[in-house]
Amino acid sequence: MNYTKTNLKADVENQAPKFGMPAELQARFARRDLGGETLGLSHMKLDPNFRIPFGHKHVSQEEVYVVVNGSARIKVEDEIVELGEWDAIRIAKDTMRAVEAGSDGVEYLAFGAGTDPRESEVVPDWWSD
């Protein structure tokens, strides 16, 4: 087949509990469900004012985040960038980042391009005020 269709909310399991993440975070990683080889897609949902409790980066994968509902702040290395609905931000390879939801929460899509979605560096409590 030359295409794959899936529903990100109904068909893709929330993986956050498997990683010990709090209930304020939903993380649905759809690469496998879609049969992606070099393209990944994730649906992320954060409750109001929730900050992901770790920073992460990928050595060989760049990502694009697109806010589809709500607002957020994202810390990219040492800079904080404000994001609103339909804002898109590209994160280069080997760049540390973390996301914090705005006062109404945030839903965003994360698109990644690379062959190994598991190759990442995770730093707990990377973003502290």
* Percent of the chain whose pLDDT exceeds 90: 85
Q: Give the per-residue pLDDT at 115.
A: 76
Phi, psi dihedral angles at 74 (to 5 degrees): -125, 130
Domain that holds residue 104: 23-116
Judge whether 86 lies within some domain. Answer: yes
What is the pLDDT, as a whole number, of residue 65? 98
Query: What's the confidence (pLDDT) of residue 1?
Result: 75
Helix, strand or coil for residue 99?
A: strand
pLDDT at residue 41, rounded to an integer: 95
Between CA 17 and CA 21 the distance in angstroms is 5
- Report how far residue 40's alpha carbon sits from residue 103's, in angstroms, rounded to the nearest whole number: 28
Residue 96 lies in a domain: yes
The two most distant CA atoms of the chain are separated, in Å, by 49
For 9-18, the pLDDT digits (tens) are 999 999 999 9
Residue 3 lies in a domain: no
Task: Report CA-CA distances (Å) from 57 to 2, 5, 35, 77, 122.
Answer: 31, 28, 23, 10, 7
5 within domain boundaries: no
Q: Which of these, 19, 112, 99, 13, lies nearest to 63 by C-alpha position? A: 112
Note whether residue 72 is domain-resident. yes
Residue 109 lies in a domain: yes
Report the domain count for the chain. Answer: 1
CATH at 38 = 2.60.120.10
DSSP helix/strand/coil, 19: helix
pLDDT on residue 92: 95
Q: What is the pLDDT of residues 64-81, one digit of tens each?
A: 999 999 999 999 999 999
Please indicate, yes or no, if residue 10 is contained in any of the structural domains.
no
In a domain, 90, yes or no: yes
pLDDT digit string (tens) for 110-119? 999 887 767 8
H/E element holding 88? strand 88-91
Model pLDDT for residues 26-68, shown as the tens digit of each residue: 999 999 999 998 899 999 999 999 999 999 999 989 999 999 9
- Residue 4, pLDDT above cutoff 90: yes
Half-sphere exposure of 22 (CA within 13 A, CB side): 8
Given a contact cutoff of 8 angstroms between Cβ atoms, the answer to whether 80 and 118 are in contact is: no
